[in-house]
Amino acid sequence: MSATTPTPLTVSGMKASAAWGSKKARPIYIGFDGQGSVDLDMISLFPDHTWKHRANGLRPDLVQLLADMHPGFIRFPGGCIVEGRDLTNRYQWKNTVGPVERRKGIINRWNTEFAHRLTPDYFQSFGLGFFEYFQLAEDIGAEPLPILNCGMACQFNTSEVVAMPDIDAYVQDALDLIEFANGDPSTKWGGLRAAMGHPEPFHLKMMGVGNEQWGPQYIERYKVFQQAIKARYPGILLVNSTGPDPNGEKFDFLNDTLRRLHADILDEHYYRNPEWFLQNATRYDHYDRGGPMIFAGEYAAQSDKVVSVNNRNNWQCALAEAAFMTGLERNAGVVRMASYAPLFAHIDGWQWAPDLIWFDNIGSYGTPDYYVQKLFATNKGDATLALTRNGQPLAGQDGLYASAAIDTASHEIILKLVNTTAQAQSPTIRLAGIRKSNAPATALVLTAAEPGAVNSLDNPTAISPVAIKMLCRGKTITPTLGPYSFSVIRIKNQAIDL
């Protein structure tokens, strides 16, 4: 048997079990009778049960955990993976769309990055590509935020850059992606989207130019992207790199330069120890409200140190992130978006920790950090309120951190209170806007007996929200905040003065 044209091969009669797979799967052997030769280019086996039964779809339990957070956006395909160790091996979105069997795979950018876990056989088939990312965002009601290569490979590796006379191809990729996402089916790339089963646009509103690039070479290339994209699509917001660190020479140069260039959104990354997050809860209190918006694009507290194999998703890290996030919420006028990173990790196939959601071939679970993110995302409100002590934001006094918002649709005040100390505290909070006394309130509380506690596949909800009823008497509420606790309190009232 021989063939000169690649043809998809369907193996029928195979039934997926109720679970996704087995913890230790065995190989499947495909044999052919007769004489001849067979060239196999790509073999893919998918169960019928995927999220929304999408062909070539995603694991339903993983997407359900993500959907339960009600995220406002999804950043994809990630960070450094868009850069590649060199430009030849960079992520190119056009190679990830169209028929799956014709997508052009590459060696994964992380194959030999970490000496503690080398994976030289780590390839990407792009069964999960840009169409699937857009579709996933739409399925869970999130805005898509694609990140594209800006003509620079990872600066921690080769630091290869495309010559400026050759940058046009990279810019054209960005313009074509907007057409793929939003264009009419009569256009080239809008037509491909329609042919893949989605004639309606994906309503793309923003795009990232580069990931963690830095220095004058990034600015030089960003300017070309900015000019071309804004000329054709003035409504598209551009997300711009401020480098891999939240301070220092690289950050200061990009922060100052991009502000002078009237950038739309500045992407700040911080992987630091829990103490850094506590100390920086007021980071955005004095940012320029008339300048670019901020995207806290990648952050996670590190229990040991960055890139350490000993990092764990423990309660101390999650609690520090909750304290920091009260500062993000308090400054919603300047912080447009925020996202924990990385999102998923396989228990037997990871190189980086911590990660938000862990899984094996059968099950999955959310970490304590996941439940912090979920409580913030599902209790946002639509306007922030001032919550102060002695005229200052409550951000570290007596180890307490707090923010407040109002949900006008449900007539509720939402308080987020973090106690980072080993002692219970009962602060009295005066609610100046409430008219009616004895308003009912509900608290969702996250806590653990000790800071090193974690969740696991065997005990996935060891640290998860517990609901408590309480009452707001008069115009005050005095909640008891347990040691090492994060509480979200919703106070119901039919009449609230703003």
Active site residues: 212
DSSP 395: B
What whole-number distance in Å separates Cα of residue 292 and Cα of residue 91? Answer: 27
| Residue at token pair 């409430």 | 434
The C-alpha angle 177, 214, 210, rounded to 5 degrees, equals: 10
| Residue at token pair 């960005």 | 174
Instruction: Give Cβ neighbours of residue 314 (< 8 Å, ≥ 6 apart).
Output: 303, 368, 451, 452, 453, 454
At 436 the three-state DSSP class reads coil
Sign of CA dihedral 301, 247, 73, 79: negative
Beta bridge mates, 237: 206
DSSP 93: G
Selection from 117, 122, 121, 124 nearest residue 352 by Cα? 117
Beta bridge mates, 370: none
What whole-number distance in Å separates Cα of residue 253 and Cα of residue 187? Answer: 40
At 41 the three-state DSSP class reads coil
Alpha-carbon separation of residue 398 from 9, 15, 422 (angstroms): 65, 58, 11
| Rg of the Cα atoms in the chain | 24
Count the neighbouring beta carbons within 10 Å of the beta carbon of residue 181.
23
Alpha-carbon separation of residue 280 from 270, 330, 373, 489 (angstroms): 11, 13, 18, 24
Count the neighbouring beta carbons within 10 Å of the beta carbon of residue 83.
27
Tokens standing for 148?
Answer: 């594209």
Tokens standing for 315?
Answer: 């309660």
- DSSP string covering 57-98: ---HHHHHHHHHT--SEEEES-SGGGT-SSGGGS--GGGGSS
Q: Kind and range of the H or E element at 60?
A: helix 60-68
Residue ranges of E strands in 249-313: 265-272, 293-301
Measured in whole angstroms, the distance separating CA 210 from the mean position of its chain's CA atoms is 16
